[in-house]
Chain A
Amino acid sequence: DQQVKQNSPSLSVQEGRISILNCDYTNSMFDYFLWYKKYPAEGPTFLISISSIKDKNEDGRFTVFLNKSAKHLSLHIVPSQPGDSAVYFCAAPDTGNQFYFGTGTSLTVIP
């Protein structure tokens, strides 16, 4: 059972525009969410996170929004740059230290 879901496998955006990557979850006990960025043949690297006590967290060009009632979070990248092209994973740890990952969204930023 996929507790963290990313329903868009791919996304293409023009350079300079906004990229919006979406993530849904089913476990209402999740209280912390993370986004990871992964380049081909490399391990994922941490990008940004958000606690369930917040609805927004911003770090430079990256902002994550959390809607707890909808069990939905999104990652906004503004402005998008070609170097942002990668696969983005949404993740949430449970209280037992097990991490649940979405299936990833492959972002392509077109110059």
Chain B
Amino acid sequence: SQTIHQWPATLVQPVGSPLSLECTVEGTSNPNLYWYRQAAGRGLQLLFYSVGIGQISSEVPQNLSASRPQDRQFILSSKKLLLSDSGFYLCAWSLTGTTEAFFGQGTRLTVV
């Protein structure tokens, strides 16, 4: 069966520090991968999605970047965190031709 792992679950980082959130999917090949942020009043906001290794589409210009170094690994990064980067980040995956996305447990990021 397919599983998705996202870590860490919670993270407190100072302003200006770097960020790396990792997401891996097991039990499937060539998944579409997504990073979402749950923001108050905006629901689940799509940040990045990837349909293959090295292919990243950015939906919202901001202080974040994403990379997909391996087929089932998706990384969300920042070189210098801002206070406004605080939020709940979710990784998700889907398969082309299917109609459901599966989510990780999420990471609560607090920038102080």
Residues of A within 8 A of B (CB): 6, 9, 32, 34, 36, 41-46, 49, 89, 91, 93, 97-104
- Is there an interface contact between B105 and A43, defined as CB atoms closer than 8 Å? yes
The SS class assigned to the B binding surface is strand
Chain B window 94-110, contacts with chain A (Cβ cutoff 8 Å), 1 for yes, 0 for no: 10100111111110100
Residues of A near B102 (CB, < 8 A) are 46
Residues of A near B46 (CB, < 8 A) are 98-101
- Is there an interface contact between B106 and A41, defined as CB atoms closer than 8 Å? yes
- Is there an interface contact between B32 and A46, defined as CB atoms closer than 8 Å? no
Enumerate 5 A-B pairs (CB-CB under 8 Å) in ascending A order.
A32-B99, A43-B6, A43-B90, A43-B106, A101-B43
| Given A6-B43, A9-B41, A49-B100, A41 contacting B94 (CB threshold 8 A) | no
- How many chain B residues sit at the interface, stated as a range, is 20 to 34
Residues of A near B41 (CB, < 8 A) are 9, 103
Residue of B nearest to A101 (CB): B44
Shortest Cβ distance from residue B90 to the other chain A in the assembled complex, whole angstroms: 5
- Is there an interface contact between B43 and A103, defined as CB atoms closer than 8 Å? yes
How far, in whole Å, are A44 and B43 apart by their CA atoms in the complex? 11
How far, in whole Å, are A97 and B57 apart by their CA atoms in the complex? 12
B34 adjacent to chain A (CB < 8 Å): yes
